[in-house]
Structure 1
Amino acid sequence: MKYELIIIGGGAAGFSAALEAERKNKKTLIINNNENVEIGGTCVNVGCFPTKHLLYKAELIYKIQNNIFEGIKTNLQIDYSKIIEEKDKLVLKARKEKYIKILKNLKNVEFLNGKAKFIDKNTIIVNNKKIKGEKFLIATGSRTYIPQIPGLENIEFLTNKEALDLKELPDKLIIIGGGALGLEFAQIFSRFGSKVVILEATNHIMNGVDDDFERLISNYLKDEGIKIIKNAKIKVIKNNVVILEDDKKIQFDKLLIAAGRVANTDDLGLEKINIKLGNRKEIVVDKYLKAVENIWAAGDVIGNPMLETIAAKEGNLAVKNMYSESKEKMDYSIIPYAIFTDPQFASVGLTEKEAKKNDIKIKCNFVKLENLPKAIAIKDTKGAIRFVINENTEEILGIQLLSPLAGDIIHEATMIIKNKMKIKEVIETIHVFPTLSEIIKLGAQDFKRDISKMSCCVE
């Protein structure tokens, strides 16, 4: 049997591609290797969806335990196994509703569970059966990057997948890596009751974030009891002890690897079809997501930025480009992202560091959340906002935000930058009072007046 399109990978990129192929009435086969991750990919099964569920619960627990509000007393009890049990139920439901059920409604798309491997540019083998296709999309995603650390091979370490399946809380948890994944898991486990130490090999957590935001989130995490060790060079791991190069010893019950991601390109037979790979095994594609003559790739498998929304967009775009004369390319310059710590960090457009590196003449500010009426009202004033604007035209080039619900608020910032708005236009836009999203307007007003001398709702 020959298919017009074969999609290898059942995550965000693969499903987005399948939906676009269905719209184009293309006979399509989608293949997912469920041994790596269930249908739906990393996000719904072992990534965004379950971690945000646990982060929300952990935030509620933290605020109750720390008596944030006067007059509220409770004897809080935590059953961690029940918490994980509910997480599993929600993941299963999301997988069924958003992937399995959707797949059953696609008339032109078939599904096959198995590991695909290329024999030539038009043939793959799955479950010992040869299958031919006219065009292919590789969307096999990524997995945890495992650094070369002496002694690591002798312990049962965790990745995000195993960490989400723990039925009991570790008393002492070490997390290797201070990026988004490491920080989110650190706050989850710390707020549930574990003693957490983050070991970051570089001098920065939240790589690429401006220094003042990094300092704020570092201080917030440390205030909660999370220990962060930067420039942590590990000499060896043995007997549930990490020994650093300065001979400092740190004991642990569990160790979580969160040192980045690597593309899933092993054992696909890519050497037989002349596909080029990058430093972290990612597939090299052109600006239209084509790898070679009749093969495209999308999502984490083509490298950073590894975000679910980008994967979905790339999967859709790849199929459009397969069957259209007018090609489209991704615009990565206005894609927002978020780190779902508490407070959350979100960013879109240029940071101050990036603007200076590119010799762009800019003006920046840094407005603390303690100036925002809604933040004061809910007693949650941790955070700040920064605008990066063109010095001459006052066009807004970038916005970074550390605040409650920053991942939601950043979409207003994305539209501002996409539409090349200027400071004056944001100031003249009326916002609902009191809201957290007013921080966008307050950040703009800061360029024109002393916001410490303003009353609420003043234009």
Structure 2
Amino acid sequence: MGRSNVVRDRTFDIVAIGGGTAGLVTAAGSAGLGASVALIERDRLGGDCLWTGCVPSKALIGSARVARHVRDAASFGLGIPRQEIEATDVLSSVRDVRAQIEPHDDPERFRAMGVDVVEGAARFVSPHEVEVDGRRLRARRFVIATGSRAAVPPIPGLEEAGYFTHAEAFDRDTIPASLAVVGGGPIGVELAQAYRRLGTEVTVVELLDRLMVREEPELADLLTSRLREEGIRIRTGRIVTRVDRTGHRRRVTIAPPATAEEGRSAEERAETLEVDEVLVAAGRAPNTEDLGLDAAGVETAGGWVTVDARLRTSRKHIFAAGDVTGGFLFTHVADHEARTVVQNALFPVRANIDYRVIPWCTYTDPELAHVGLTEAEARDRHGDSVSAHVYDIGNLDRAIAERAAMGRVKIVVGKGGRILGGHILAPDAGTMIAEISLAMKAGVKLGTLASLVHPYPTMSEGVKRTADAYRRSTLTGWRKSAVDLALRIGRALPP
């Protein structure tokens, strides 16, 4: 980042602390409405998403997908010779993609909007002032948008043996020959599959009894089967008890939690993995420890900033948005929260944040997308009125044509066909889920989606076919009798 503009001696309408998605959207939105805005960033604008998260990870996943297609070329009738993968070329291409997107978050672009971009680490010195490198900025409103980072569990020997997280993955020039991934959530699973497709021997270690525990279980299980088919070793219900350095490699000791497999000694229950490197993907930690929140009177819980429904902290003129609140840790949610903050911070008409319809997607192949409730969650809340309707992507013409006939759509509905949740395992599931999200937001019932014309042949037909299955399930009782009567009348009429 270049040198910041001189911040004039005045009180800003709003100061955003943190130059990731939440801070950038707050700054741009506020400046566009005519507010005086300062944006403070200690490193580089763009945050985790641009530099170490969404952008480079999807670029790496894209390279890995092509590598997979090359290996599977025979199924497309193509005789492509097996290609050697050059790690330096792959990772260089990932950084090239990042460089192409970087201008979207260039400091000069925001300065041109009228935002004072301030370089340095901010620290509250009072509820109404922050200090950056000895300079103090006052504001009527503040937004804490400092994000989160990879959490590193206190595993004996891990620090000494060495490890990396997603934050370091894309600035390396090597792809490990073998890898232990600690954590079976979205980051761990995405990178596990990408590395495997690029030639790495991968083992995923997950404490819980299955991967992707926030997802619809049957779809998560299908994805787990796919990962195993690709050669990824998966050890669920295991914790890493120790990591040791053995020359240039690591010895990772794993075992069931202490409560499992009683009657066997720790030594009997343990197993070891000999790998070149360890990737830690075991959750997130908030970036709040150096902000001086005590001086501002801002309350936290476990380091995460606590907010109300209007995204106000315990100090009502100080807001928080994005990962730092510990809610939905997604870029698109940070954007959504920042837009709500802009309204509540600058205008007298206030709004509560709406989390009722928040889609997300894990960018494996196939992708796994989710919005709303799982079937179990829906039954817990709504009881026997809940039903679930499923369509296997393997029956879809487009999936067969693409040699991608693996996946499932599952839509959970309540009384009258109201959509309570949608879950898709399919190529482009992240795009397909938008249709279900919009239906939920607009109150469109599942039966209505059956009458929506979808282009043929597309993956989106999977949603329509699921809606068809729902509509067929309603043809019981008096409805079935009415259909039978209409058919009899139709047969009796003259042609």
TM-score (norm: length of structure 1): 0.94
2: CA distance, partners of 1:214 / 1:312:
27
Task: Tell me which amino acid in the other structure corresponds to 1:302.
Answer: T
**Preserved contact between residue 275 and residue 283 of structure 1 (Cα < 8 Å):** yes
Partner in structure 2 of residue 349 of structure 1: 372
2: CA distance, partners of 1:190 / 1:231:
22
2: CA distance, partners of 1:375 / 1:40:
36
- Aligned partner of 2:210 among 184, 187, 204: 204
**Structure 2 matches for 1:49-448, cutoff 5 A?**
49-67=55-73, 69-75=75-81, 76-107=83-114, 109-239=115-245, 240-245=250-255, 246-279=269-302, 281-291=303-313, 292-360=315-383, 361-390=385-414, 392-448=415-471
Task: Indicate the SS of the match to 2:180.
Answer: strand
Task: Indicate the SS of the match to 2:97.
Answer: helix
1:298-346 per-position Cα deviation (integer Å, ceiling 9, x unaligned): 1000012101011012112112101222111221121110000000000
**Preserved contact between residue 361 and residue 370 of structure 2 (Cα < 8 Å):** yes
**Preserved contact between residue 159 and residue 256 of structure 1 (Cα < 8 Å):** yes
The yes-or-no answer on 1:21 pairing with 2:30 is yes
User: 1:128, CA displacement in angstroms?
Assistant: 2.3
2: CA distance, partners of 1:68 / 1:400:
31
1:172-196 per-position Cα deviation (integer Å, ceiling 9, x unaligned): 1111000000000001110001001
Equivalent residues, number:
444
1: CA distance, partners of 2:296 / 2:110:
29
Task: Tell me which amino acid in the other structure corresponds to 1:434.
Answer: P
**Preserved contact between residue 20 and residue 320 of structure 1 (Cα < 8 Å):** no
Task: Indicate the SS of the match to 1:86.
Answer: helix
User: 1:366, CA displacement in angstroms?
Assistant: 2.4
Task: Tell me which amino acid in the other structure corresponds to 1:316.
Answer: R
Task: Tell me which amino acid in the other structure corresponds to 2:102.
Answer: R
Task: Tell me which amino acid in the other structure corresponds to 2:33.
Answer: K
1: CA distance, partners of 2:74 / 2:312:
53
Distance verdict in 2 for CA 1:299–1:70, change over 3 Å: closer
User: 1:98, CA displacement in angstroms?
Assistant: 3.9
2: CA distance, partners of 1:394 / 1:23:
41
User: 1:289, CA displacement in angstroms?
Assistant: 0.7
Task: Tell me which amino acid in the other structure corresponds to 1:9.
Answer: G
1: CA distance, partners of 2:366 / 2:159:
35
**Preserved contact between residue 390 and residue 411 of structure 2 (Cα < 8 Å):** yes
2: CA distance, partners of 1:175 / 1:278:
28
Root mean square deviation, CA, Å: 1.4
1: CA distance, partners of 2:191 / 2:358:
24
Unpaired runs of 5+ residues, structure 1, are 451-459
**Preserved contact between residue 50 and residue 102 of structure 2 (Cα < 8 Å):** yes
Task: Tell me which amino acid in the other structure corresponds to 1:120.
Answer: S
1:225-249 per-position Cα deviation (integer Å, ceiling 9, x unaligned): 0011011122211121111232201
Query: Percent of aligned positions with the same letter in both sequences?
Result: 29
Unpaired runs of 5+ residues, structure 2, are 1-8, 256-268, 474-495
Task: Tell me which amino acid in the other structure corresponds to 1:334.
Answer: V
**Preserved contact between residue 16 and residue 313 of structure 1 (Cα < 8 Å):** no
Task: Tell me which amino acid in the other structure corresponds to 2:18.
Answer: G
User: 1:449, CA displacement in angstroms?
Assistant: 4.0
1:197-251 per-position Cα deviation (integer Å, ceiling 9, x unaligned): 1010111211221221121011000000001101112221112111123220101
Partner in structure 1 of residue 484 of structure 2: none
Task: Tell me which amino acid in the other structure corresponds to 2:413.
Answer: I
**Preserved contact between residue 68 and residue 379 of structure 1 (Cα < 8 Å):** no
**Preserved contact between residue 264 and residue 301 of structure 1 (Cα < 8 Å):** yes
**Preserved contact between residue 447 and residue 471 of structure 2 (Cα < 8 Å):** no
2: CA distance, partners of 1:4 / 1:68:
61
2: CA distance, partners of 1:204 / 1:47:
24
1: CA distance, partners of 2:449 / 2:100:
40
Task: Indicate the SS of the match to 1:387.
Answer: strand
Task: Tell me which amino acid in the other structure corresponds to 2:388.
Answer: C
Larger radius of gyration: 2
TM-score (norm: length of structure 2): 0.87
User: 1:138, CA displacement in angstroms?
Assistant: 0.6
User: 1:253, CA displacement in angstroms?
Assistant: 1.1
2: CA distance, partners of 1:447 / 1:30:
49
**Preserved contact between residue 178 and residue 205 of structure 1 (Cα < 8 Å):** yes
The yes-or-no answer on 1:10 pairing with 2:19 is yes
1:137-174 per-position Cα deviation (integer Å, ceiling 9, x unaligned): 11000000111111112122101011122211101111
